[in-house]
Structure 1
């Protein structure tokens, strides 16, 4: 059994401030003061925000006990919801998955608002049908009128799918996968299969919308979301593979096998486990790539921050505008501090407004702050 010392217990207690009680909502597993990324775990049906990710023999809860060492500058969260099959697929709530998805999006947005970390990138690790909860949460984020909900999709940079079925619009394929899950949960419960079958259309709709969104982002019309699909390599005794490889992968995206069955593939007890190394390597790669991208991104000019084009360089203005083509010396007897001036917030420094003449010498034309004669030729955006 994996034993805890008093120091570990103190560290765990320090993360409880924003954790919900019980098994539902967000549990903070690790929260570094200098965190630069949020990593969120989402379990599937019959799962739990802790037991799904906990190795049975050793008791190692790897999001907390292993991952924080490989990605120390992170906040690691595990989301829980009512994943009992009879509730997840209740006859009286045909859109139960949509409720879970909105709860996930809201819980994340509220936590990030409360902790002033809404700009932080997000990475998800999702198991089985928890991947569909994630996908529907992304769709809900895209369609939301609330900016704090929209930010969840906008800040998501990657997702690790662990044995999540990607059956597209083929309802028959969904029925097959859901039947396998029913066999594991309730063995051969025909009543449960009757509940699962009509929901295949709901799942097909979620998949179609999510994959369309991925394609749009990949084509460059929005930020790219990295995706890696992990599939089970071992069968469940007496049932076989729950989500076969061809259903667990997405075309054109990276796919990696984990040498375990459907239930055991999200559980690791050592950093040397090949499955853990594969998942943590993807998370670390995405985190580093995002950090490099942010550090190399040019800072926008003030006007650009509001969607306006940057003003043209002063040297490119026609000389008729009064902009100097090169620095000139003031005529003898001129003193810049003798005349009114106004600060220039765009180019810096001050503009001098001298009189038209002094001691018989005309004022140099380059010292005038003249406005363009034609509005269409102004380098600044015109108001309607």
Structure 2
């Protein structure tokens, strides 16, 4: 038996050499680690990792059609948002080279140099020993694991291969010695325990060979499918041809594409039609947020008289877009309401972190505005408060500011429910500002992003060059408002004050007409 396997191994090595699937890649061979596609707009990447005695070119090339698997994927629109990369390492048939753990260290150097993990999503497609290399690399570099959303292992000898034992007797390549059939104290047993202990949960798909290679199954099904947590795909090919699809209709190609779509297409689908599920309102009908005085100014509460008048006469209040609520001077109220009605399993899951981007409007900031002091307003809702004060300063414009709401990791809306948030702002430099809000959400297994732009005039934030406070404390039958103080921008803040004549007054009706 041992003599027969030795002959088989020699024949296998000869076949591999003739098929140009072996040898140490040299600079003159032009077989290197490289991008097949590298588009800076793509957030994802697929990394190919070849097996023992293979390389980044011949392992994936079909000898009949000349099809090169990484190129087939690059030409498939399914993968258009993913870059394609092939990793190459030395793996001679007979000579001395790296062992598997050393290849993993080399992989770290090469992938870091080529900025693979600058991508947000990573998928691995590994053949044979390449799967062992991939697992060793991830175990050594666990900070990368959160970005790995799937791995597909084609004929990986997770529990070893009988043929590797014979090859180990004939070759000085230490890689064969690491793939001996597993027992409790072997290299592969340690890797198996380490992988399980790491609690790695991203989807791992496996494929196993159906056909023999020169009369011998190189990797048995139980070895090829060990440690996989997703389905096992049988491929009607031998150990070498299993990763050489002739075209996009080949079983191996379809198997990987199906797994990819199952994982990535669901995660990357963006529901741009979020308005089908939600209604978003900035501010609310009882507390318009139009003018925002600066931070650090303590304002005096107005009398209950003006508050009562405004609440009891909505038509009057609607004529006051410039009224500022002194309890929420720096805030945008964001109300998100589910418009789903009576549908089971249609809860909307909202993220807990807004991305806020504000821009400077071309409109010139007004020289002076009037701010009326009044009592507390609101509709009794209990919003989630943000701890972040966003500085309205042209120097910070167009920067994406992340604002977390720490009360919960996420928020859910049942059909018909609403959630309300408050966003805090502070005027640092006079100007007119527009704000865009982005918030991730998911519904029924699909993901999307709410985006709301406050381009409407009513929602623009105005930081004036000066503002005058009017008090309602002396409100009388003539509807007079008493001016308290004027604050002017002094180049750095609004601390510069001009004390006006406190007897100055303005009639309520005249202000209504102005606004």
**Structure-1-length-normalised TM-score:** 0.61
The partner residue of 2:263 within 279, 283, 286 is 286
1:156 aligns with 2:148: yes
Look up the match of 2:245.
Answer: 268
1:202 aligns with 2:202: no
C-alpha distance in structure 2 between counterparts of 1:192 and 1:111, whole Å? 27
Gaps of 5+ in 2: 1-26, 273-348, 356-387, 389-400, 409-419, 424-469, 473-479, 504-515
Look up the match of 1:106.
Answer: 109
C-alpha distance in structure 2 between counterparts of 1:111 and 1:283, whole Å? 23
Gaps of 5+ in 1: 1-19, 143-149, 168-173, 219-224, 316-328, 343-349, 360-384
C-alpha distance in structure 1 between counterparts of 2:250 and 2:170, whole Å? 35
C-alpha distance in structure 2 between counterparts of 1:60 and 1:37, whole Å? 23
C-alpha distance in structure 2 between counterparts of 1:275 and 1:305, whole Å? 42
1:300 aligns with 2:353: yes
C-alpha distance in structure 2 between counterparts of 1:226 and 1:124, whole Å? 11
Q: Structure 1 120/234 Cα, relative in aligned 2: closer, same or farther at 3 Å?
A: same
Q: Structure 1 301/330 Cα, relative in aligned 2: closer, same or farther at 3 Å?
A: farther
Please give the per-residue CA displacement for 1:229-270, whole angstroms capped at 9, x wherever unaligned.
11111122222x221111111354221111111111000121
C-alpha distance in structure 2 between counterparts of 1:87 and 1:335, whole Å? 91
Q: Structure 1 335/42 Cα, relative in aligned 2: closer, same or farther at 3 Å?
A: farther
Q: Structure 1 338/123 Cα, relative in aligned 2: closer, same or farther at 3 Å?
A: same
Alignment of 1:104-183 (within 5 A): 104-112=107-115, 118-142=118-142, 150=143, 152-167=144-159, 174=160, 177=161, 179-181=162-164, 183=166
The partner residue of 1:47 within 54, 67, 83 is 54
1:243 aligns with 2:223: no
Question: Secondary structure of the residue that 1:288 maps to in structure 2?
Answer: helix
Look up the match of 2:81.
Answer: 73
Q: Is contact 2:132–2:158 with CA below 8 Å preserved after alignment?
A: no
Q: Is contact 1:62–1:268 with CA below 8 Å preserved after alignment?
A: yes
Pick the structure with more helix per residue.
1
Question: Secondary structure of the residue that 2:234 maps to in structure 1?
Answer: strand
Deviation at 1:59, TM superposition (A): 1.4
The partner residue of 2:481 within 328, 333, 350 is 333
C-alpha distance in structure 1 between counterparts of 2:38 and 2:240, whole Å? 27
C-alpha distance in structure 2 between counterparts of 1:212 and 1:180, whole Å? 29
Please give the per-residue CA displacement for 1:166-225, whole angstroms capped at 9, x wherever unaligned.
22xxxxxx3xx1x32355x58x74988997279762232223212332x3x43xxxxxx1
Pick the structure with more strand per residue.
2
Q: Is contact 1:67–1:280 with CA below 8 Å preserved after alignment?
A: no
Q: Is contact 1:28–1:76 with CA below 8 Å preserved after alignment?
A: yes
Q: Is contact 2:164–2:179 with CA below 8 Å preserved after alignment?
A: no
Deviation at 1:273, TM superposition (A): 1.2
C-alpha distance in structure 2 between counterparts of 1:62 and 1:24, whole Å? 15
Look up the match of 1:373.
Answer: none
Look up the match of 2:37.
Answer: 30
Q: Is contact 1:24–1:79 with CA below 8 Å preserved after alignment?
A: no
Q: Structure 1 197/103 Cα, relative in aligned 2: closer, same or farther at 3 Å?
A: closer
Deviation at 1:35, TM superposition (A): 2.1
Q: Structure 1 308/109 Cα, relative in aligned 2: closer, same or farther at 3 Å?
A: farther
C-alpha distance in structure 1 between counterparts of 2:173 and 2:119, whole Å? 42
**Larger Rg computed on CA atoms:** 2
Q: Is contact 2:50–2:129 with CA below 8 Å preserved after alignment?
A: yes
Equivalences, count? 286
Q: Is contact 2:44–2:119 with CA below 8 Å preserved after alignment?
A: no
Q: Which has the higher contact order (CA 8 A, sep 6+)?
A: 1
C-alpha distance in structure 1 between counterparts of 2:72 and 2:163, whole Å? 32
